[in-house]
Structure 1
Amino acid sequence: MYRPKGLFSAPLRAWMSRDLAPLVREVVNDGELVRSGFLRRDALRRMVAEDAAGQQDFSKHLWHVLTLEYWYRGAASGPGRAP
């Protein structure tokens, strides 16, 4: 009760390595941003591999890639159409 407020952060590392891993693979292998040339597949694969190996925590970066990918799909599909 007398301690300062604590921060809450989403468990991105766990999400990226387990729950969202299939989506990450799909975006890296066949994402719109990769196909259109906005993101480099080899760089994304390297990030995923280093994250999975525990060499570097890229979970926040991968989260941003996922959200950008799904935003882009929605924006590219135009108004009133499903992504």
Structure 2
Amino acid sequence: MINIRFFAFLRERLGTDTLDYEFTDEKTVLDIKQKLIARGEPWTLLAEQDVLIAVNQTLTSESSLVSDGDEIAFFPPVTGG
């Protein structure tokens, strides 16, 4: 099982802050992201270029390898003021 977390506008638009994802044969974050996007609206939000990704609380890219038990987080860029 992979725990997926969503933050800020993603959480609001998806209507959830967490998702338990049954780990099967996915190898990378991109594999999982593509399966989520394939669900259609509003999951296509994950395809936006500015969505950041962290695996086990470390900022990473879509090509990052994943394993059963990992946590993946999707969030918008952090801005300051």
With CA pairs under 8 Å and 6+ residues apart, which has the higher RCO, 1 or 2? 2
TM-score by length of structure 2 reads 0.25
Please identify which structure carries the higher helix content. Answer: 1
